[in-house]
Amino acid sequence: MPVYVVCILERATFAVKKKGDTVKRVVVTGATGAIGRSLIKLCIKAGYEVLAIVHRGSQRALELECMEHCHVLRLDLSEYDKALDEMNSKGIETCDYELFFHLAWMAPF
């Protein structure tokens, strides 16, 4: 895991603890890639609730759906305007996310 990601998480965790908040939330797009999966595990270990945004057809999302403290939202990059409706329909918290890691990209396949 790159050092700057760990530093961002450590600083955010300190800032949240300083404010006295009990639930820390982070969003990760591209969550089924190697970096995304590692980042999610690191975030959960640091005490974050994770919203993992994955491609609708992803088979690797099944692993994330089994993780405690990880909520999976299946959306394509072109569908981000539907994110709030999808989150509301699944009962996923829609506000108070401290960090957003955008790792997704449009693949030509």
pTM of the predicted protein model: 0.77
Domain membership of residue 11 (yes or no) is no
Q: Give start and end residues of each alpha helix (H) in 1-109.
A: 3-19, 34-45, 61-65, 83-90
* Structural domains in the chain (count): 1
Q: For the segment 45-62, what is each residue's pLDDT rounded down to a tens digit?
A: 988 999 999 988 888 898
- Quick count: other Cβ atoms within 10 Å of Cβ 37? 18
Tens of pLDDT, residue by residue over 52-105, are 999 888 888 989 999 999 999 998 888 888 888 989 898 888 888 888 899 988
**If 0-12 CB within 10 Å is exposed, 13-18 middle and 19+ buried, where does residue 44 land?**
middle
Q: What pLDDT, on a 0 to 100 scale, did the predictor assign at position 56?
A: 86
| pLDDT at residue 76, as a whole number | 84
Give the 3-state secondary structure of residue 52. strand
Identify the band that residue 16 occupies on the pLDDT scale cut at 50, 70 and 90.
Answer: very low
Residue 10 within any structural domain of the chain: no
Lowest-pLDDT range of 17-26, 32-41, 62-71, 95-104: 17-26
Query: Within a domain: residue 41?
Result: yes
Tell me if 14 is assigned to some domain.
no
| Integer angstrom CA distances of residue 81 from 14, 54, 77, 87 | 32, 15, 9, 11
Q: What domain range includes position 77?
A: 23-102
CATH number at residue 51: 3.40.50.720
